[in-house]
Amino acid sequence: MENLDWNNLPFGYIKTDFNVRSYYRNGKWTSLEVSDSEFINIHIAASGLHYGQEAFEGLKAYMGKDGKVRLFRWEENAKRLFSSAEGVVMAPVPVDLFGEALFKVIKLNKKYVPPYGSGATLYIRPLLYGSGAEVGVKPALEYTFIVFVTPVGPYFREGIKPVNMLITRDVDRAAPKGTGIFKVGGNYAASLRAIVAAKCGGYANVIFLDAKEKKYIDECGPANFFGIKNNTYVTPKSESILNSITNMSLLEIARDMGLKTERRQIAVDELPEFEETGACGTAAVISPIAKIVDPETNKTYDYCKDGKPGPWTRKLYDRLINIQYGDEPDKFGWITIVD
Ligand SMILES: Cc1ncc(COP(=O)(O)O)c(C=O)c1O
């Protein structure tokens, strides 16, 4: 095991030993290549640089108490990258190749999987971009697929920490029939102005509303939104948000715990009715929302008056991380052990 200060790792990039790469040329993917370089040699006219032909994924490998490395629902990430590739007309990465790359890169960097109990994980970043040279606006003929890993500390060192969110109406992250449902870099570029403004104002992140009517909740920065009221877990249905794998899993866990679930539009006007709200995604699992501020109406919605996460949020969080670390049986069949 690498000699790192596992208990104090930042949520940032740390160099590891290897990454894996495959290239789409002449209509097919090459077999995986192992690289020890953190850099790529890229054509100045690559479509990924100019026309945003780029997509990525983010998932984690967890070290269990038993010393086994676990992946959580990696096939869902593979399918989502496939769909993102089709969304911006790139050569999709076959699910098998995605899996082979994942297992290979984890095994090659096994010493960087943080120990059980440190709260840290090995973050895995699959990346796909148009590497063929084009000057006209059209899809490239060549693509590059890379998977690299980096050990990351927990998003919040305190574990599960209530945060404040700011509603934005000045910036749209994605349009209803645009690319919001795909994990492509352009959506993140579009979201940055709002995120930076919210952070400057002391907020953890921003809540985007639907771009058409500015009436319904879309997403919380790079995470899905959920609210809980009357024993029901409610999460937005929208054609411009990313289908979060964490959220898909929380919906199932919520049902398993006896909550009703609803996936439907959530109007801003409904916010006062929720007993608990949260943002969910791979990075922080769940960030309970303490307060949502709407600068246009001057309204503030308070959820954690005692500064603590609500009871359902806590239970959902605990069950999900216990499954991810192998601390409770994998009754949903979500875990793959990396041998
Ligand atoms: C825009 C956006 N929404 C939601 C999520 C959460 O998705 P997941 O739970 O699959 O990490 C992410 C992170 O991947 C994201 O970038």
Residue 158's pLDDT is: 73
Which atom of ligand 1 is closest in space to residue 223's alpha carbon?
4
Active-site annotation holder among 15, 104, 177, 183: 183
How far does the chain reach from its first CA to its final CA, in angstroms? 16
Mutation pick for ligand 1 pocket among 224, 248, 316 (CB with most ligand atoms within 8 Å): 224
Report the alpha-carbon distance of residue 235 to residue 23 in Å, rounded: 38
CB 294 within 8 A of CB 272: no
Which class for 104: exposed (0-12), middle (13-18), buried (19 or more C-beta within 10 A)?
middle
3-state secondary structure of 86: helix
- The model's pLDDT over 174-192, given as tens digits with 9 standing for 90+, comes to 999 999 999 999 999 999 9
Give the dihedral sign, CA 147/152/155/159. positive
pTM above 0.85, yes or no: yes
Quote the ligand 1 centre to 183 CA distance (angstroms). Answer: 8
The predicted pLDDT at position 3 comes to 84
Annotated active-site residue 183? The verdict is yes
Ligand 1: nearest atom to the Cα of 59? 11
pLDDT in tens, 128-162: 999 999 999 999 999 999 999 999 998 877 778 89
Atom 7 of ligand 1, residue of closest alpha carbon: 244
Check pLDDT > 90 for residue 38.
yes
Interval 81-90: pLDDT, tens? 999 999 999 9
3 Cα: distance to centroid of ligand 1 (angstroms): 31
Ligand 1 neighbours (beta carbon < 6 A): 58, 219, 222-224, 242, 244-247, 281-282
